[in-house]
């Protein structure tokens, strides 16, 4: 079985291969598979976006048996789940991580420390020819900091305090973060579903 990952992110491809490798004979990125497609992620949930992307890529991936995609972001309880599916463009289209983080801190300025709970969420979708699309979710709980901490990671990592480590996600090494990440948890849930099908 040939799996195409709906991404060209090398780090993501490596992580997926490590967890789902035993279930597929070959795992390729979009670039490896010679696919260039831009799917509009206009769903109102992470799961809807991941499912749409996986199914649209599968429709054009003639050589693939399956396509895996993910949609991830930060959900803040005090903001009713925002930034949510708008995590990448929270400060508006064309803005960067710094602008998104600045807007989030401004929106959370008056929220007391005990009410700054949040989580990173990742929806994983596996679209397969002739079969129902599988969807799993992974999440990791945290607290929103009042100022960025750490130099690693990307996105909201500098503002996401992970209690068990006593550090922000941007203060963790890539290896430490990958052990507990929302994507890893979603991928492990997908692996369990595939195991049940054996």
Which residue, 36, 46, 8, is CA-closest to 137?
46
Say how far apart CA 24 and CA 191 lie, in whole Å: 11
Which residue, 90, 125, 120, is CA-closest to 104?
90
Reading the block at residue 102, the tokens are 């600045």
Say how far apart CA 5 and CA 16 lie, in whole Å: 8
Q: What are phi and psi of 125, to 5 degrees?
A: -120, 135
DSSP letters for 154-173: -TTGGGEEEGGGTEEGGGS-
Task: Indicate if 71 belongs to the active site.
Answer: yes
Catalytic residue among 42, 44, 71, 77: 71
Report the catalytic residues. Answer: 71
């Amino acid at each position: 079985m040939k799996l195409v990952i709906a991404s060209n992110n090398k780090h993501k491809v490596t992580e997926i291969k490590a967890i789902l490798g035993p279930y597929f004979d070959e795992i390729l990125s979009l670039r490896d598979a010679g696919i260039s497609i831009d799917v509009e992620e206009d769903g109102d949930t992470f799961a809807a976006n991941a499912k749409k992307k996986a199914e649209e890529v599968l429709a054009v991936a003639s050589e693939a048996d399956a396509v895996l995609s993910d949609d991830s972001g930060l959900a803040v309880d005090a903001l009713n789940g925002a930034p949510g599916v708008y995590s990448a463009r929270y400060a508006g289209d064309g803005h960067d991580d710094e602008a998104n983080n600045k807007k989030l801190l401004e929106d959370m300025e008056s929220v007391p420390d005990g009410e700054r709970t949040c989580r990173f969420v990742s929806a994983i979708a596996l679209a397969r020819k002739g079969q129902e699309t599988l969807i799993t979710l992974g999440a990791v709980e945290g607290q929103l900091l009042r100022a960025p901490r750490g130099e690693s990671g990307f996105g909201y990592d500098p503002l996401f305090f992970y209690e068990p480590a006593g550090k922000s996600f941007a203060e963790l090494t890539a290896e430490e973060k990958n052990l507990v990440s929302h994507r890893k948890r979603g991928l492990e849930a997908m692996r369990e579903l595939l195991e049940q099908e054996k």
